Structure 1
Amino acid sequence: MAEMKNRSAYHEFFIDVKYEAGMVLLGTEVKSIRGGRVSFNDSYCLIHKGEIWVKSLHIAEYSHGNLNNHDPLRDRKLLLQKKEIKKIETKLKEKGYTLIPLRLFFNDKNMVKIEIGLAKGKKLHDKRETIKQKDVEREMKRYLK
């Protein structure tokens, strides 16, 4: 099955807590997701009137769609329990926290799910440290083979 990850999220942020949510989608969006035509560039989540929405998540138009094809950048509602939304809302009020989409996948019941994460932004020196750590791990794997 298709699984799309937001690679830049792990480079730009420290992820504290992850949540798995459902998403309100149209049929042509699901078909595009199956084809792996999703881009996380500049996408983020926000809370509006007690609901969580994902903004600027680009799901390409379905190639065989007709007049009812979807808008690629429309806002999509996420489905979470109220108490989870309250927890997220209190964390977002703390300084430095943001809510970002991490990955999009199909669960075992073939439902589209999105993993969102409460994250804090990394400073430049933190990013460099992460890159160094990955290089060391890569070298270790090379020598172990």
Structure 2
Amino acid sequence: MAKKNTFDKIINIKNKKASYEFEFIDTFKAGLVLRGSEIKSIREGKVSLTEAYCYFKGEELFIKQMHIAPYTLATHYNHDPVRERKLLLQKQELRKLQNKFSEKGLSIVPVRIYINDRGLAKMEIALAKGKKIHDKRQSIKEKDAKRDLQRMAF
């Protein structure tokens, strides 16, 4: 009987700032083109998505300003922490995203990065629209009310 690969540490890094700043319209799961030391740093959980954003270069989708800390045990062949990385999506998803992205006021935001059950790094991206100030206040009120309900339950 074959053993199934299971990883001890579950990696699920979220971009909390994105849900506060944007209203998500549609979400997609994308693969990442990484170098060897980058995946090792992701497995250690040393990734920051707060300043990251996605853009199209021709027909391909790239992510910029995603910070992956250098791997401590790597030699002088370590990676650049904030280099732009290519995102892997199916052609029909790319076309759909590019058509929606051309509309005014929409942007593509990284929501979270995780390691799937096969050990591959995946990123969840969202087609998003920026929130107004009153929308942000409303989301803060909802979050506070939810927290108060959880406190009363205990």
TM-score, length of structure 1 as denominator length: 0.98
Deviations for 1:8-64, whole angstroms, at most 9, x for unmatched residues? 000000011110000000010000001110011211000111000000100000001
Hey, what does 2:51 align to over in structure 1? 42
Q: Does 1:19 align with 2:28?
A: yes
CA distance in 2, matches of 1:29, 1:10: 25
Q: Does 1:73 align with 2:82?
A: yes
Q: TM-score, normalised by structure 2?
A: 0.92
In structure 1, C-alpha distance between the alignment counterparts of 2:152 and 2:13, rounded to whole Å: 30
SS of the equivalent of 2:98 reads helix
Report what 1:117 is aligned to: 126
Q: Please give the secondary structure, in 1, of the residue aligned with 2:40.
A: helix
Q: Is the 8 A contact 2:97 2:127 kept in 1?
A: yes
Aligned positions of 1:1-145 closer than 5 A:
1-145=10-154
How many pairs does the alignment contain? Answer: 145
Structure 1: 4+ residue segments shifted above 6 A:
none
Q: Give the Å deviation of 1:120.
A: 0.3
- Percent of residue pairs identical: 46
Aligned partners of 2:11, 2:109: CA distance in 1, in Å?
20
How big is the shift at 1:83? 0.8
Residue type of the alignment partner of 1:72:
P
What secondary structure sits across from 1:118 in the alignment?
Answer: strand
1:95 deviation in Å?
1.4
